[in-house]
Amino acid sequence: MLRVDVRAAGYRAGEAVLKRVGFTCSSGELVLVGGFSGSGKTTLLLTISGVLSSLLGGWVDGSVLINNVDTLKTDSAVSRLIGLVLQDPEKQLLMPTPLDEVLFTLENLGFSEEEALNRATELLKRFGLFDKRFNHVETLSGGDKRRLSLASAISHKPYLVMLDEPTASMDPWGIREVRKFVADLIREGNIVLIVEHKIKYFLDLADKLILMSSGEKIAEYSRDELTSRDLREKLRDANVDVEPIHEVLEKSSNEKKRFGKALLTVEGLECWHDPEKPLLKGVSFEVREGEVLTIVGPNGSGKTTLLKTIAGFHKGYSGEIRFHDKRKVFYVSQTPDYMFLENTVERELMLTSSRTGISINALIEKVPFYTEKKNSPPYRLSLGQRRWLTLVIAWAYTPDIILMDEPTVGLDLGLLNTLFNHVRELSEEGISFLISTHDPRVLLGLADRSLVIEGGKIKEVEPYKAALMLESVAGVY
């Protein structure tokens, strides 16, 4: 049994980030915690695990009981009771090889060398990593890293397993794996707690949904209530990402639009990291003025490589990349922080202005949070704000085509809609977008056309159908 009764909690004395959050759940149940960015979901997770008060110097008024053990009053039992899967495996994985990674937890918790090795071997086999157990973590694919983070979180058989935004940077193939992982844990009698924007991916497995806003629990719904169509509509209206694409009507944005002249033609492109194993073969397509074109495919299928090749940063290719005018593309990375060069938003815009000749006022006009955040480091902005700032910087360089790599990772529905509005605004000005994504929402909300990568080849698929395909892979369609 998990019983959470937090009256208030925060990182600094007197500043409550969480207020009045309470719920209970029993063995074999899944609790989903939803809400916008900044609603206190991750803080709740840190509170329950005891990390907020014991490691981060924060405070908690209340109690968290896991099988009658108060995680806020004891350090020693918490690690044995809890397993945590972080949003980004890069941040969770601590050791150089998969075997070391799994053994690390077991050694910490005092397992004998023999038992630890047996358990690690069994887990690595279960997660398909046994043959790679001595490989360096950095040589593993994104999917392998994700599986390793799951394996290492449950190596000690914890009673409560918590997952922080498990679908944030994951393709539908990975989501399907996590859904199976969660279903197995529930069947084995564990309690699973998932903090997630895209709750639709776990709704059919959930026993409870807790909705949070501004650090407070604003609603709690049981399994029976979650099946009600009325409730789903209410949640959707409140910008909660609750419904699979197939339950949302096909949008008018997918209607055929007229676009301007062709800006870029790609013909017979082949890309590789190792010339003997080409990642992409025979890729041909065209980008027209004002068009939003998406490239869809699993992690590691070559989406980023394709964008970087077009941007001129990846040299391992053959075939033709033809710009009909002067080559003017701008590549925006998946991680916005790479783009920043200055330590305040104001200086960042001033530098952009001096580099591009666009007036500082024109730039400020594009940044709605400028007055409030002009003296903040760009790294301290919210993820949505950082993404928008990179897009403004890209716009200032007056490219014909903006290449965006997974721009929706970590965005809640509210921030996603804001980003979509900005992209539409720029595309109406005539800027084209080539967006790599595995997010069905981008296909439905933005894409004029979509290209799907399959086995190294590319084919055009109608965006709505591509979105359905992704939802089907994830297991919600």
C-beta of 309: minimal distance to other proteins in Å? 12
3-state secondary structure (DSSP) of residue 386: helix
Out of 75, 267, 320, 460, the only residue in the binding site for other proteins (CB under 8 A) is: 75
Out of 3, 20, 80, 324, the only residue in the binding site for other proteins (CB under 8 A) is: 80
> Rule CB under 8 A: is residue 169 a binding residue for other proteins?
no
Q: CA gyration radius for the chain? A: 23
> Rule CB under 8 A: is residue 360 a binding residue for other proteins?
no
Interactions with other proteins, residue window 103-122 (CB under 8 A):
103-105, 107-110
Out of 68, 76, 361, 371, the only residue in the binding site for other proteins (CB under 8 A) is: 76
d(CA 286, CA 24): 54
Q: Which stretch binds other proteins (CB under 8 A): 22-30, 183-191, 203-211, 328-336?
A: 328-336
| 4 or 443: CB nearest other proteins | 4
C-beta of 249: minimal distance to other proteins in Å? 38
> Rule CB under 8 A: is residue 317 a binding residue for other proteins?
no
Strands (E), 96-222: 160-164, 191-195, 208-213, 216-222
User: By rule CB under 8 A, what string of x and - marks binding of each residue 329-358 to other proteins?
Assistant: -xx-x-x-xxxxxxx--------x--x---
Q: How far is CA 18 from CA 22, 23, 28, in A?
A: 11, 14, 26
> Rule CB under 8 A: is residue 260 a binding residue for other proteins?
no
Out of 8, 95, 248, 321, the only residue in the binding site for other proteins (CB under 8 A) is: 95
d(CA 407, CA 416): 9
Torsion-angle region of 382 (φ positive above 0: left; ψ -120 to 50: alpha; else: beta): beta
Contact assessment for residue 42 and residue 195, using Cβ atoms and an 8 Å cutoff? yes
> Rule CB under 8 A: is residue 92 a binding residue for other proteins?
yes
The residues facing 23 across adjacent strands are: 4
Q: Which stretch binds other proteins (CB under 8 A): 80-88, 205-213, 278-286, 442-450?
A: 80-88
d(CA 200, CA 271): 35
Own/partner pairs, 454-463, CB within 8 angstroms, 24+ separation: 454/297, 456/278, 456/279, 456/280, 456/281, 456/301, 456/302, 457/280, 457/281, 457/282, 457/283, 458/280, 458/282, 458/283, 458/284, 458/285, 458/295, 460/285, 461/296, 462/254, 463/254, 463/294
| 70 or 100: CB nearest other proteins | 100
Express the helix, strand and coil content of the chain in percent, nearest 5 each.
40, 25, 35
d(CA 39, CA 197): 11
Q: What is the DSSP letter of 249?
A: P
Using CB under 8 A as the binding criterion, the count of chain residues that bind other proteins stands at 56
Out of 88, 247, 286, 462, the only residue in the binding site for other proteins (CB under 8 A) is: 88
d(CA 347, CA 353): 10
d(CA 381, CA 410): 14
| 138 or 276: CB nearest other proteins | 138
> Rule CB under 8 A: is residue 233 a binding residue for other proteins?
no
> Rule CB under 8 A: is residue 373 a binding residue for other proteins?
no
For the purposes of burial, counting CB atoms within 10 Å of the CB of 409, is it exposed (0-12), middle (13-18) or buried (19 or more)?
buried
Q: Which stretch binds other proteins (CB under 8 A): 190-198, 244-252, 291-299, 325-333?
A: 325-333
Per the listing, tokens 């950095």 go with 138
User: By rule CB under 8 A, what string of x and - marks binding of each residue 142-161 to other proteins?
Assistant: ----------x---x-----
| 373 or 449: CB nearest other proteins | 373
Interactions with other proteins, residue window 394-423 (CB under 8 A):
397
| 105 or 436: CB nearest other proteins | 105
Q: How far is CA 20 from CA 3, 13, 169, 248, 284, in A?
A: 13, 17, 30, 34, 56
| 49 or 385: CB nearest other proteins | 49
> Rule CB under 8 A: is residue 11 a binding residue for other proteins?
no
User: By rule CB under 8 A, what string of x and - marks binding of each residue 45-64 to other proteins?
Assistant: -x--x-x--xxx--------
Q: Which residues bind other proteins (CB under 8 A)?
A: 46, 49, 51, 54-56, 75-76, 78-80, 82-84, 86, 88, 90-96, 100, 103-105, 107-110, 136-138, 152, 156, 308, 311, 313, 330-331, 333, 335, 337-343, 352, 355, 377, 379, 393, 397
